[in-house]
Homo-oligomer: A and B are copies of this chain.
């Protein structure tokens, strides 16, 4: 499985993904699920993927191939005029790949389900965040629902529900994303380190922060342990209140 989380805030966008994939419990690998493109000053785009790995890799591969070998009349992530158009291009690529492999997978009893988070900003437009489904259709994050999760989303949802609004500072949202991931890592073996973090500050039109957090990252380790202790302290407070 996978856990990817993207938040659209007034100050910018935070994207966080894990890197574990598994075909059954005894076949676990590490694959990047976070992909970025930028033309500094013009656009910054981050895609995160969940679901059938062959499908999502093929979608990313097709999107990259269209960039590498541009054809007349074919829009790419780097030529699209708007983020809405970028989401359409990703949806179209998803549909193409599903048409190519969907029927054969269904015949084998395998799922071709996949989803892609599309986040970013194009010069002249505002930052936008989309969730592209396996059918190529998509929804957009709004004021009321400023975040999307794909993959193993349930463990890490409570903390996000409690702290995130559009007004949350970008730095604080990064902390919330990391703690949401930490809860998921602890409760579900199919989500694993390292993590890929991407921050797009509003109107910067570049990767404001883009890094891998490794399993032995001392700062993340301290955060994880600190959160465990803080939760236990908060719990003891509640225990005293209830009993």
Q: Could you tell me if A227 and B234 are in contact, using CB atoms closer than 8 angstroms?
A: yes
Q: Name which residue of chain B comes closest to A163, CB basis.
A: B235
Instruction: Give A144-184 as 1s and 0s: 1 = Cβ < 8 Å from B's Cβ atoms.
Output: 00000000101101110111000000011011101100010
Given contacts A235-B163, A238-B226, contact A158 B183 (CB under 8 A): yes
Determine the main DSSP class of A at the interface with B: helix
Is A233 located at the chain interface by the 8 A CB criterion? yes
State A241–B233 Cα separation when bound (angstroms).
Answer: 16
State A223–B175 Cα separation when bound (angstroms).
Answer: 25
Chain A, range 193-243, C-beta contacts under 8 Å to B: 219, 222-223, 226-228, 230-235, 237-239, 241-243
Is A186 located at the chain interface by the 8 A CB criterion? yes
Is A107 located at the chain interface by the 8 A CB criterion? no
How far, in Å, is A241 (CB) from chain B's closest CB?
Answer: 5
Could you say how many copies of this chain the assembly holds? 2
State A84–B34 Cα separation when bound (angstroms).
Answer: 49
How far, in Å, is A122 (CB) from chain B's closest CB?
Answer: 29
Is A187 located at the chain interface by the 8 A CB criterion? yes
Residues in chain B near residue A174, CB distance under 8 A: 242-243
Given contacts A162-B228, A183-B158, A187-B161, contact A176 B223 (CB under 8 A): no
State A234–B162 Cα separation when bound (angstroms).
Answer: 12
Given contacts A154-B155, A154-B187, contact A237 B230 (CB under 8 A): yes
How far, in Å, is A145 (CB) from chain B's closest CB?
Answer: 13
Given contacts A154-B155, A155-B154, A187-B158, contact A238 B242 (CB under 8 A): no
Instruction: Give A46-63 as 1s and 0s: 1 = Cβ < 8 Å from B's Cβ atoms.
Output: 000000000000000000
Chain A contact residues, CB within 8 Å of chain B:
152, 154-155, 157-159, 161-163, 171-172, 174-176, 178-179, 183, 186-188, 219, 222-223, 226-228, 230-235, 237-239, 241-243
A-B contact pairs, 8 of them (CB 8 A): A158-B158, A162-B228, A162-B232, A176-B235, A223-B238, A230-B238, A231-B231, A234-B234
